[in-house]
Amino acid sequence: MKRYWSRRIRDMVPYVPGEQPRDRVFIKLNTNENPYPPSPAALAALREAADEGLRLYPDPECTQLRTAIAAAHGLAPEQVFAGNGSDEVLAFCFQAFFDPDRPVCFADITYTFYAVYAEYFGLTARLIPLEADFSLPVGPFCTGDNGGVVVANPNAPTGLEVAQKDLVRILEANPQAVVLVDEAYIDFGGTSADTLVDRYHNLVVVRTLSKGHGLAGLRVGYALGHPDLMAALRCVRDSINSYTVDRAAQAAAAAAIADADYFEAQAAKVMATRARSAAELRALGFEVTDSKANFLFVHHPKADAKALLDGLRQRGILVRWFDRPRISDYLRITVGTDEEMTALCKAMKELMEEYR
Ligand SMILES: *Cc1c(COP(=O)(O)O)cnc(C)c1O
């Protein structure tokens, strides 16, 4: 088939999102959602926005939301662009800043959407292999006539943080190109590059409310950068769809961002559970990377990762396994509540007994 499909998509291999089962209740540790509910203030704002005002289009410039984001980061609203999830913001960035004649660099093991966007937008990707311990080799990002650089910090699915001095080296070595820093998981103990936005005009920091704020269902993400770069993102958006963030989402997201105390308390709980779960898995013989994200990336020298994935699923627990070179012996496990992680560790212990 594909009879009427455009040439652009006929050979595309799209991104595969993690499973969202509808048939039974699983302990869902497969898509890095926050186990805790969003801020009550955000939910109140959402309910309040659900009125006859929905007759009207939303503010295309997301003024109130951008003002709240700017205040949270100590930046000006002109340095903020808001979109329908950070996946949309990233897709707009690939269109706004990168051209086919020079390659876009990113790690061989990172968020797979970067490779999908590069292909879809007709760009050349220059894949830079991570070191054997999955740390980011800075040198290769600092050489060559790069058309763009994309770094997930912390990286997915390894959870490893890139030191800020290394990001600065990459920014300074690539003045000819935009450096995108995808901070989807920065809320769980990492150091944000938001403080570098005023100094480096080739930096764009991309953030999401999906992970740290527990609002994956709301679909709000944003970019921080020089006003001229934000204008390029508006140019792409207004060439496709001016109203990507709806009225209710703008109101709820602004309230969530303003409720910093709630947000920090939830993130602290996730980090405490992460430390406890990592220790328990290490005690079972797992190698666990030093994750600064809301997931653990684990490997057991004696066990087959796919078999563990299937065994966990039979016990009602979903985690993520990637059938990709270098990481097919690993599982990515979202940090859930303490109870969920206790159930996970218990199931892992049972499964590992089969390998004795
Ligand atoms: C989850 C994730 C995103 C996408 O977040 P949304 O805002 O929900 O679209 C972007 N980048 C990385 C690395 C992610 O893991």
How do residues 15-32 score in pLDDT, each as one tens digit?
Answer: 888 878 877 789 999 999
26: left (phi over 0), alpha (psi -120 to 50) or beta: beta
Q: Give the tokens for residue 177.
A: 């190109």
For residue 58, what are the CA distances in angstroms to 68, 85, 246, 250, 251? 17, 16, 6, 8, 10
Closest among 203, 247, 215 to 61, alpha carbons compared: 247
Task: Find out whether the beta carbon of 184 lies less than 6 Å from any atom of ligand 1.
Answer: yes
Task: Find out whether the beta carbon of 155 lies less than 6 Å from any atom of ligand 1.
Answer: no
Using DSSP's 3-state secondary structure scheme, residue 302 falls into coil
Task: Find out whether the beta carbon of 117 lies less than 6 Å from any atom of ligand 1.
Answer: no
Phi first, then psi: give them for residue 154, nearest 5 degrees: -60, 155
Compute the distance from residue 343 Cα to the ligand 1 centre, in Å: 26
Whose tokens are 């020298």? That residue is: 301
What distance in Å separates the CA atoms of residue 228 and residue 79, rounded to the nearest whole number?
Answer: 9
Any idea where the domains of the chain sit in the sequence? 18-37+261-355, 40-258
Closest among 87, 40, 39 to 184, alpha carbons compared: 87
Q: Residue 356 has what pLDDT?
A: 64
Compute the distance from residue 341 Cα to the ligand 1 centre, in Å: 22
Cβ-based neighbour number of residue 262 at 10 Å: 19
Q: For the chain, which residues score pLDDT lower than 50?
A: none
**Architecture of 40-258 per CATH?**
3-Layer(aba) Sandwich (3.40)
Compute the distance from residue 177 Cα to the ligand 1 centre, in Å: 22
CA dihedral 254, 257, 261, 264 (to 10 degrees): 150
> Measuring from atom 2 of ligand 1, which residue has the nearest CA?
184
Specify the pTM.
0.96
Compute the distance from residue 114 Cα to the ligand 1 centre, in Å: 11
Q: Ligand 1 pocket test: which of 211, 222, 295 has the largest number of ligand atoms within 8 Å of its C-beta? A: 211
> Measuring from atom 5 of ligand 1, which residue has the nearest CA?
86
Using DSSP's 3-state secondary structure scheme, residue 322 falls into coil
Compute the distance from residue 111 Cα to the ligand 1 centre, in Å: 8
Q: Give the tokens for residue 112.
A: 């797979």
Task: Find out whether the beta carbon of 157 lies less than 6 Å from any atom of ligand 1.
Answer: no
Q: Are 93 and 279 in contact (CB under 8 A)?
A: no
> Measuring from atom 12 of ligand 1, which residue has the nearest CA?
184
What distance in Å separates the CA atoms of residue 115 and residue 129, rounded to the nearest whole number?
Answer: 14
Longest dimension (CA), the chain: 64
DSSP letter at 136 equals P
What distance in Å separates the CA atoms of residue 60 and residue 42, rounded to the nearest whole number?
Answer: 20
Closest among 290, 310, 302 to 329, alpha carbons compared: 302
Supply the CATH classification number for the domain 18-37+261-355.
3.90.1150.10
Helices (H), the chain: 7-10, 40-49, 63-73, 85-97, 113-120, 138-141, 164-173, 227-237, 247-258, 260-283, 305-314, 338-353
The CA-based angle 118-124-126, given to 5 degrees, is 100
- Helix or strand holding residue 128 (H, E): strand 125-128
